[in-house]
Amino acid sequence: METDDLYLKCHNLIEDREYEEGLSILFEIKNNINAKFLLAYLYEIGVDGFLDKDTYKSILIYEELIELNQVNALYNLGMLYLRESDFNKSVFYLKMSSEVGNSSASYWLYRIYEENFINEAERQKYLMVSKNQGHLQAKKSYLIEKRIKSKSYIQKLKLSIQILYLKIKVIPIIIKDPKDERLV
């Protein structure tokens, strides 16, 4: 059986929770690119009773995939580091993934900058990048922000008009009483 056919069989077995047979095939074909991705992912999450979660092994496999120019590994590794709360490494890999056109990586960079108040300019940049790359949630976020900004602008404008109106009403009219030197 060809390696790709074995991979499909292995993938289907794992999806069907036939872990023992699926993992046996997976380790047999572990040099196949798709098998490496699957193995890295399974180490990342662990498979109850069949494969212990091992973040270190997962990272090593993703790094190996990156060396083999598998750009999807950039995103996977960036997300792994995000889940592990290593924001510097997460941002590093997600930026590389964004640069090769991964809209999800761009969107997650936007979210990281948004949630951590790190850098407003970077937040805006990655919102626009992910929107332009076609990320659906980024498009929604952009429209929401645009609506909020326009409402905010309109509210500020209304407030300015109200303040101006109050100033006009409240400005004391200074009249000098001819009999008195005091201002009325």
pLDDT in tens, 64-99: 999 999 999 999 999 999 999 998 999 999 999 999
pLDDT: is 166 or 62 the higher one? 62
- The answer on 63 and 20 residing in a single domain is yes
Residue 30 makes CB contacts below 8 A (sequence gap 6+) with 36, 39
pLDDT mean across residues, the chain: 83
- The answer on 112 and 62 residing in a single domain is no
Residue range 12-37: average pLDDT? 93
**Domain enclosing residue 107, as ranges:** 73-170
- Domain count across the chain: 2
- The answer on 115 and 66 residing in a single domain is no
- The answer on 22 and 60 residing in a single domain is yes
| pLDDT at residue 144 greater than cutoff 80 | no
Reported as half-sphere exposure (CB side, CA atoms, 13 A), residue 7 has a value of: 14
Q: Could you tell me if residue 165 is inside a domain? A: yes
- The Cα diameter of the chain in Å comes to 114
Where among 37, 70, 103 does a domain terminate?
70
Q: Could you tell me if residue 102 is inside a domain? A: yes
Q: Could you tell me if residue 177 is inside a domain? A: no
**What pLDDT score was predicted for residue 39?**
95
| pLDDT at residue 165 greater than cutoff 60 | no
CATH code of 152's domain: 1.25.40
Tokens of 174: 């200074």
| pLDDT at residue 108 greater than cutoff 70 | yes
Tokens of 93: 């890999």
